[in-house]
Amino acid sequence: MPRPSPLDVYALLDKSNCGECGVETCMAYAADLLERKLRLEDCTHLMQDPKQKKKYNKLKEMLMPPQRPVRIGVGEKEVIIGGEEVLMRHQLTYYNQTAFFLQLADNQEDLVEAIKYLDDLTIERIGDILKIQGIALRCVSKDGEVFKNAAKKAAENTDLPIMLCCMEPEFLIGAATEIKDKKPALYAATKDTWEQLGTFAVQNNLPIVLSTPTSDLDELMSLSATLQKLGSNEIILDPGTFFGQGGISVTYDNIAQLRIAGINNENKNAGWPIMGVPAAYWTQIVDVKEEDLWKAKYQEVIMGAIMVSEAASLLVLNTGQKKEDIWALLALMTLRQSIYSDPRIYPSVEEGIYEVGEPNENSPIFVTSNYRLTKIPVELDIKAANLDAYLLVSDSEGIGIESSVAGGQFNAESIAETVKKFNIFDKVNHRILIIPGMAARLSGTLEDEADCVVLVGPRDSSGIGDYMNKMWTPEEYMKEYADR
């Protein structure tokens, strides 16, 4: 089915331009709907006028992506998984990044402390705050009361979405009943438990995971069709996570087959979020020596990386629930951050003056582009060199230094315009700009355009500290400037 256009959506709106959705016009609302910036529920006319029910249903069907989205949790930390329109990111973009759920045991002594640690866990990288998306609570105790109490503790101590993991349907239903207002995901319904768990999930509007431990995709599709007939509209597919000889290829192939069937072939039974459980590696090993623990953690992270690369919608991880294993989450979050960037948009920052440290009238002025992955590392390297400086960011259309110099987006004229626009020389008692080494060819023209002295800095910003120790003699350069 071809992707609808804003005009297709606009045709089904009442065209009142009331602005109650948060944007000024119905056309703007239609465009934002397609970009997932707004939801159908944001249009009060569609939601409250009975005469528009047919249009609402048509729009809902029109806007539903081939891989339907599923929401877990409530409030600000609610996570949306799935909902993708394309198989490959470069075809359009991915909208909902892989959600990382860290597993915890219901009977571990430090459960509350572990929950609070994960709730507060943040990693800052290149201007983004990276976090986990949820907690997977496992019924390790094999005791329904212990599992139920652990679920209550989790709900009381975090707003993170919760996945309740138990193969005993009575225990799972008991725990979910206690925290159903938090909209936990239920893991997992199988061919033996689908009716009991599926009925409960439908009655309480809860997302449910369908699992087949034997990697039987036909069985998984049959379960999906059955649950949909039962009334479930929030299904997650778990085709199994397998290690050992040939296991990784089976795991990868299963995810790929389901995504192709759901997204490309629009198979409604396959068109749901797909999850994996790299934490399953720990169920396949026994009596691991302390010195060999890193190998097991490494194998889990490798599987996680494979699944993120294949755009799995949700992963359950074990490594990362403790502070000493932060490296595992950093590796997976970094990979996820790269894959789920929008290929249609250059990652840019606002042009202007950025203060690093506490600059004064004697501080140097560094110039860089507004490509985010250039600006932020330069800023960090200036900080690492313990410098108080001004960072002048010129608009390069969000393109890095080397490419924008070659393409003409980062040029002497535009830098000079930025200098004048923000009056950077009013902040210092010199007229010296330090430009990146990759932009050396701009130095002569920039000196004329901006009426200043231009110094060519290192090609890599990691060398800023050494460069300043050797080259920063502003009095000499200003004497040369006065003699020109």
DSSP 14: -
The ranges assigned to domains in the chain are 6-63, 69-339, 352-483
Tens of pLDDT, residues 372-407: 999 999 999 999 999 999 999 999 999 999 999 999
Instruction: Please report the DSSP string for 228-289 in residue order.
Output: HHHT---EEEE-----STTHHHHHHHHHHHHHIIIIIS--TTT-S-BEE-GGGGGGG--S--
Closest CA to 369 of 343, 327, 342, 407: 407
pLDDT of 356 strictly over 90: yes
pLDDT at residue number 289: 82
Q: How far apart are CA 12 and CA 90, in angstroms?
A: 30
CATH code for residues 6-63: 1.10.15.40
pTM summary value: 0.88
What percentage of the chain carries pLDDT values higher than 90? Answer: 90
Q: What is the pLDDT of residue 108?
A: 96
Going by DSSP bridges, is the β-strand pair 275-276/314-317 parallel, antiparallel, or unpaired? parallel
State the pLDDT at residue 482: 83
Mean pLDDT of 311-320: 97
What pLDDT, in 10s, does the model give residues 26-62? 999 999 999 999 999 999 999 999 999 999 999 999 9
Confidence of residue 281 (pLDDT cuts 50, 70, 90): very high
Encode burial over 282-309: b for 16+ CB neighbours within 10 A, e otherwise: beeeeeeeeeeeeebbebbbebbbbbbe
User: Which amino acid type is present at position 19?
Assistant: G
Report pLDDT digits (tens) over 406-448: 999 999 999 999 999 999 999 999 999 999 999 999 999 999 9
Q: Which two tokens stand for residue 378?
A: 């330069």
pLDDT of 412? 97
| Architecture of the domain whose range is 69-339 | Alpha-Beta Barrel (3.20)
Mean pLDDT of the chain: 95
pLDDT reported for residue 60: 93
Rounded to an integer, the average pLDDT of 175-186 is 98
E strand segments, 143-246: 162-165, 185-189, 208-211, 235-238
Reported as half-sphere exposure (CB side, CA atoms, 13 A), residue 314 has a value of 35
pLDDT at 484 over 90: no
pLDDT on residue 136: 98
Give the C-alpha separation, 35 to 197, whole Å.
34
Distance in angstroms (rounded) separating the CA atoms of residues 98 and 312: 6
- pLDDT > 70: percent of the chain: 100
CATH T-level assignment (fold) for domain 352-483: Rossmann fold (3.40.50)
In this prediction, residue 215 has a pLDDT band, given cuts at 50, 70 and 90, of confident
pLDDT of residue 459: 95
Over 80: is that where the pLDDT of 286 sits? Answer: no
Residue-level pLDDT at 239: 97
Question: What confidence score (pLDDT) does residue 284 get?
Answer: 80
Whether residue 468 is predicted with pLDDT greater than 90 in this model: the reply is yes
Identify the pLDDT of residue 287.
Answer: 77
Predicted confidence at residue 2, as pLDDT, reads 83
Write down the pLDDT at residue 291: 82
Q: Given this model, what pLDDT does residue 165 score?
A: 98
